[in-house]
Amino acid sequence: MKTAAIVVVAAVDGAVVVVAIGANTSGAQAPTLHRTDLPNGLTVLSESVPGARSVAFGAWVRAATLHERPEQMGVSHLLEHMVFKGTRTRSAQQIALALETLGGSLDAYTEREHTSYQARVLDEHLPEAASVIGELIFEPLLRQADLALERKVILEEISMVDDTPDDIIFDVHNRAVWGDHPHGFPILGTRATVKALSVADLHDLHERAYHPGRLVVAASGRVEHDQLLDVLQSTGWSTRERGDMTPFPLDPVEAAGPHAEHVSRKDIAQTHIVLGGQSIAFGDSRRYAFALLDMLIGGGMSSRLFQKVREELGLAYSVQTFSSSYADTGAHGVYLASAPETAQEALDAVRDVLRDVAANGLSEADLAAGKRQLRGQLVLSMEGVSSRMYRAALTALYGEPYRSIDELKALVDAIDLEQVRDVAREFFDPDRQILVSLGPKAVR
């Protein structure tokens, strides 16, 4: 029998400490997420994973593409690159060697809402991981000479995307859905904006965003919460100045209505297609019904689109759904690529599948099968320490409740046919979606 969630809050040396967040489940060990909000504004979360011998450690900065002005598109991504060029005590080479020589890894990424830095190391090397990422975040040199070099690297990255049609098409789709809103900005920026960005722009963003008041730290694996707090103290995280915690202002989101756009490319062999639009925000109560439907339509080899478009008709090598959820909205769609002479037939087949689901929903048998598949995916996704670190961070970044595996499975089990029908009608009707294509021949 399940009992109510346990939340024990205490004040320790000025820090608000949530000792445990979780749910007791009879006969099983309850998951426990520890959280501490330090006096300087830093949010710290950890989950100990029994049997693990490694630790995933990450920091999320609450600033990214959504917070950029049009003329500064790509500044968040450029800053993410630049911090690796050198810090107060480490050169670029020393940063690269610091964890790799211990068998660990160090990585970073920029997305729409956050910029993140993560490491994966053996448990005894957690202090080294915290030290390296702490220096990247708080003490980058941001030198003019490094900017000249790294700007060329970013321009090469943009060229790489330009040479990859199945990357370009998603940028085209984002612009078609969001227009001039930052949701539609390319994360890399444009050639013009990257060339115009200066060291002053990087310093301005760093000063506004890279401080404890805008940071979330999460760790998962062989780690105890008190140990993590000690490591953050010894590596200087806990003593950094708080900084401004005022959220970056965001314009209201307005999505475009149904329409079609084509980008002509005669130099590629296929027509690349995305059919989609706006979808649900991260905290939407329909999230699990949406995930189930999205999975059954285009989430794998057993999906309806794969079976219809590839296996039955042989019109595409790859056809799949995709979705992203943000704090205030989301985006989703279907991607496929087909020869120009068969692209229209492939798109028509996709629309047939979507129309059927939008009009009829799912059968009881399909719903039951979808629940089994989604439950399995959720459980398997929680097997690794990195995925658990991400889940811990989401509780702070989005106010996401921390749920046990049993609670997640219960949410899936609660999905009913009416929820699925509502989601299908609102989000999967192809006549309400935006069509974008790229290649030698347009589709309609």
Q: Would you state the pLDDT for residue 221?
A: 97
> Does an H or E element contain 209, and which?
helix 199-209
List, for residues 249-278, the tens digit of each pLDDT value: 888 888 889 999 999 999 999 999 999 999
Q: Give per-residue pLDDT as tens, 292-329.
A: 999 999 999 999 999 999 999 999 999 999 999 999 99
| Structure token digits, residue 96 | 């690269």
324, containing H or E segment: strand 319-325
Closest CA to 186 of 66, 321, 85, 298: 66
Q: Which pLDDT score is estimated for 122?
A: 98
Q: pLDDT, tens digit, for every residue of 185-201?
A: 999 999 999 999 999 99
Mean pLDDT, to the nearest integer, of 24-35? 60
What is the CATH number assigned to the segment(s) 2-239? 3.30.830.10
Mean pLDDT for the stretch of residues 94-116: 98
Note whether 108 and 80 are within 8 A (CB): yes
pLDDT at 232 exceeding the cut of 90: yes
Residue 20 pLDDT exceeds 60: no
**Which segments of the chain belong to CATH 3.30.830.10?**
2-239, 260-439
Task: Respond yes or no: is residue 311 known to be catalytic.
Answer: no
Q: What is the pLDDT of residue 255?
A: 80
The pLDDT value given to residue 318: 92
Instruction: Assess whether pLDDT exceeds 70 at residue 18.
Output: no
Residue predicted with more confidence, 22 or 79:
79
Residue range 348-402, pLDDT digits in tens = 999 999 999 999 999 999 999 999 999 999 999 888 999 999 999 999 999 988 9
Query: DSSP for 49-102?
Result: -TT--EEEEEEEES-SGGG--GGGTTHHHHHHHHGGGBBSS-BHHHHHHHHHTT
pTM, two decimal places: 0.92
Q: Which of 206, 288, 289, 213 is nearest to 247 (CA)?
A: 213
- pLDDT > 90? residue 222: yes
Please check the confidence at residue 234 and state whether its pLDDT lies above 90: yes
What angle is formed at CA 384 by the lines to CA 214 and CA 367, rounded to 5 degrees?
A: 100
* Set 80, 113, 135, 150: catalytic member: 80
pLDDT above 50 (res 6): no
CA 309 to chain centre: 28
Q: Is the pLDDT of residue 19 over 80?
A: no
At residue 105, the 3 state secondary structure works out as strand
Q: Which fold has domain 260-439?
A: Cytochrome Bc1 Complex; Chain A, domain 1 (3.30.830)
**Residue 80: which residues within 8 A CB-CB, separation 6 or more?**
108, 109, 110, 115, 117
| Averaged confidence pLDDT in the chain | 92
Structure confidence at residue 31 (pLDDT):
54
Tokens 């959280």 belong to 35
CB atoms within 10 A of CB 41: 17
pLDDT, one tens digit per residue, over 397-434 is: 999 889 888 999 999 999 999 999 999 999 999 999 99
